[in-house]
Amino acid sequence: MLSRRKFLNAVSAAAVVAVSPASLLAKQRLLPTRLIPGTEEAMPIIGMGMSAAFRSGDREASWSVMKPFQDYGSKYIDVSGSGRFVVADIVRDKGLRDSVFLGSYFSAANDVASRSDARRLLEMTGKDSLDLMHAYPENAAPNWDVMRRWKSDGLTRYIGVARQNQRHYDAMMGLMDTGTVDFLQVNYSLFETEAENRILPMAMDKGVAVTINRPFINGQYFGLVRGHELPSWAADFDCRSWAQFALKFILAHPAVNCVLTETANPKHALDNLGAGFGRLPDEKERQRMLALVRSFGPS
């Protein structure tokens, strides 16, 4: 699989420079936001997924990739396992309690251990409640009452369900049908559009906030677009790189609140953030984008 680093090394230096959002930031400094349904709380439209820097436990590398997101107003960081404590440590030391929306995964089947981890995060970050406690549907569905108690007890402000494969969509939709799911995290991209058939429309109908994972299908996307020039018409919606092409397609869907990007490279972070600025494609343009990338064929 072609990594994003190798992909960018294969393009010209001029093209690499063009991915920076700097020219658009001259007009707009902070990322646009979208309201979390049913609330007056706004969320910036691009966030961070589970960076390899978090997984490695490298605090310096983690901050180097978090900083560009903070500079441009991004808040949501979605992180699991030991990586969440690395992030929490940085949040405390950098005084970011109110400028980070922390989403993390917990086992609803193990209430005691999950509450213990949640309290540790609260102590580290200085937050009164966690922002979002979510779980995989196979764990959340049989233990949804436990997660609802986490919210009613004030341990978290929001609860949700997260997965990245359409075989879990029925279970996720079943939970949304209860009317008590605050957040849905699901895969959606130029090469994985199945979510738009049922689960994204249902989230809109139920007033569920949607965050998107796998925007680059774990890096496979860059292998698929390698060797192809970015079309000139991408500039019509302020798109300057293939990464922004993918992200703008996702962000233009009306159900989406925030797309989560995973990177340990600050330059890639800036490229990703650039997708949040300028115009988004309309539906006719989105269909043109789909037709183009699918004409490239498999990697």
Confidence of residue 21 (pLDDT cuts 50, 70, 90): low
Which tokens belong to 95?
Answer: 């005084």
Handedness of CA 288, 292, 294, 295 (dihedral sign): positive
Q: Quick count: other Cβ atoms within 10 Å of Cβ 287?
A: 11
Confidence of residue 27 (pLDDT cuts 50, 70, 90): low
pLDDT value at residue 16: 41
Strands 33-35 and 42-44: antiparallel
Computed over every residue of the chain, the mean pLDDT equals 91
107: CATH? 3.20.20.100
Residue 15 has pLDDT above 70, yes or no: no
Residue 17 has pLDDT above 60, yes or no: no
More confident residue, 285 or 5: 285
Residue 2 has pLDDT above 70, yes or no: no
Residue 202 sits in which domain range? 4-295
Residue 298 has pLDDT above 70, yes or no: no
Residue 50 has pLDDT above 70, yes or no: yes
Section 77-101 average pLDDT: 97
Structural domain count of the chain? 1
CA dihedral 162, 59, 18, 8 (to 10 degrees): -80
Is residue 235 within 8 Å of 227, Cβ to Cβ? no
pLDDT in tens, 175-222: 999 999 999 999 999 999 999 999 999 999 999 999 999 999 988 999
pLDDT value at residue 23: 52
Contacts of 29 (CB under 8 A, 6+ apart): 72, 73
Residue 20 has pLDDT above 70, yes or no: no
pLDDT value at residue 7: 46
pLDDT value at residue 29: 85
pLDDT in tens, 107-161: 999 999 999 999 999 999 999 999 999 999 999 999 999 999 999 999 999 999 9
Confidence of residue 104 (pLDDT cuts 50, 70, 90): very high
Section 82-86 average pLDDT: 96
DSSP H or E run through 76: strand 76-79
pLDDT value at residue 216: 95
Section 21-44 average pLDDT: 82
φ, ψ (nearest 5 deg) of residue 141: -55, -50
Residue 18 has pLDDT above 80, yes or no: no
pLDDT in tens, 258-274: 999 999 999 999 999 99
Percent of the chain at pLDDT exceeding 90: 87
Confidence of residue 6 (pLDDT cuts 50, 70, 90): low
pTM: 0.90
Confidence of residue 14 (pLDDT cuts 50, 70, 90): very low
